[in-house]
Amino acid sequence: MKTENRKAATTAYKERKLIMGIYTVRCLVSGSAWIGQSTTLDTIQNRLWFTLRFGNHPCRELQRAWNDHGAEKFTFEELERLDNEDLTYVRDARLKERALYWRSLLGGFAI
């Protein structure tokens, strides 16, 4: 990649609008749901599936279910998108609040 192209790609990446929100990963066999929050909702599924495929996801229950049932028995769903907050602590507090709401509503586990 040429230097100009690399610089343009880096600038575009830094200036992209973050999509924040709450998501769920569901096991179709057991019916279990895991609820998480992310400041990069558009890329979180890829990151989750990568760590699960390699067997090193930090949520042991989710990793165990993945290992027992296989990737084809899991779904990813975006539950809610949130407005982007400039202040980090406000953003983080809002994400935590909404994740707790969805966990209680769906009876899901934290990721």
pLDDT at 14: 67
pTM of the predicted structure, to 2 decimals:
0.84
Whether 48 contacts 75, CB under 8 Å: no
Instruction: Please give the average pLDDT of every successive group of 10 residues along the chain, which has 111 residues.
Output: 79 76 97 96 96 97 97 97 84 94 96 92
Q: For the structural domain made of 18-110, what CATH number should be given?
A: 3.40.1440.10
Give the Cα separation of 18 and 74 in Å (integer). 25
At residue 59, φ and ψ (nearest 5 deg) are: -85, 105
